[in-house]
Amino acid sequence: MVLILDGKKAAAEIRAEVKTEVARLGRSHGPPGLVAVIVGEDPASQTYVKNKEKGAIEVGMRPEVVRLPGSISQADLIAEIRRLNASDNIHGILVQQPLPPQIDEATIVRSVDPMKDVDCFHPENVGLLFQGHPRFAPATPSGVVELLRRNRIPISGREVVIVGRSNIVGRPLAALLLQKGETADATVTVCHSKTKDLPLVTRRADILVAAIGKAHFIKNGMVGEGAVVVDVGINRVPDGAGGSKIVGDVDFDAVSKIAAAISPVPGGVGPMTIAMLLKNTLHAAKMRSG
């Protein structure tokens, strides 16, 4: 029987832990403030931000959503971020991606105060992570690691193959897993669109992480018998009845027949990402409170 890596359950545990600490911190310093900046009307981004807001309320934080028009100039967006950087009761700032084409994402990422960068996207925080001294753990990658840890899946010494080299998932996940420590110390391979004979590499994995953004890209011929499979994909596809549904990067029905453990979509990594973001916001507020 395949073990289902239940992200809803693990995320609820993390939120409960964060809530306890938020209450404790709140008594002396007030509730942590988390701001999500959303530019334009991207429907997926609207949903993500709504879920982040809901999570923040649940754990007793003070969320704020700053909605800006898709036509905003880069200078005006930076001015807005500077205002948030300077605010004493805002501890975490995230600028939801993707941003409209007139905005340079890298410039925006660099304009967020690194001490409030709960996404861990700022180059200073990415540098600290890659040197093995993270200030913040990037939310989706640390959600993957935490999902494995809470299901008692050993990582140390094992071969982890990541499919996808994005700045949000693949690269920072590789950095996390390469750290020293019980929930790291992995041998890591990062695959991408130019990888030669991808199935040969992915079949070698003890733990296979799919973060490529293509619906059902990972088929059972790409997975070794008894592997642990973590699906980071969130892809909207037609449901065959005129509507749409969310599926992962892994062909769940086929792969769950040969894997030892697998995370579902939805209900796997998605809820973990939000829980880890809240954990980062708590950490940011604690750093500020000394």
Tell whether residue 94 is a contact of ligand GUN (CB under 6 A). yes
The H-or-E segment that residue 108 falls in is helix 105-111
Give, as ranges, the residues between 142 and 201 that touch ligand GUN (CB under 6 A).
Answer: 168
Q: Is 117 a binder of ligand GUN (CB under 6 A)?
A: no
Cα–Cα dist 62/71, whole Å: 28
Dist CA 183 CA 86 (whole Å): 36
| Cβ proximity to ligand GUN, 15 vs 198, nearer residue | 15
Rg (CA), the chain: 19
Of residues 153, 212, 142, the one with CA closest to residue 2: 153
Structure tokens belonging to residue 259: 């894997």
Residues 279, 137: Cα–Cα separation, whole Å: 9
Stretch that binds ligand GUN, among 79-87, 94-102, 153-161, 216-224 (CB under 6 A): 94-102
Contact between 272 and ligand GUN per CB under 6 A:
no
Considering the complex, what minimum distance in angstroms separates the CB of residue 168 from ligand GUN?
A: 5
The vertex-154 CA angle with 168 and 131, nearest 5°, equals 45
Verify binding: residue 112, ligand GUN, rule CB under 6 A: no
Catalytic residue status for 46: no
Smallest distance, ligand GUN to C-beta of residue 48, A: 6
Q: Residue 74 catalytic?
A: no
Catalytic pick among 119, 206, 231, 249:
119
| Residues within the interface to ligand GUN (CB under 6 A) | 94-97, 119, 139-140, 168
Residues with catalytic annotation? 52, 96, 119
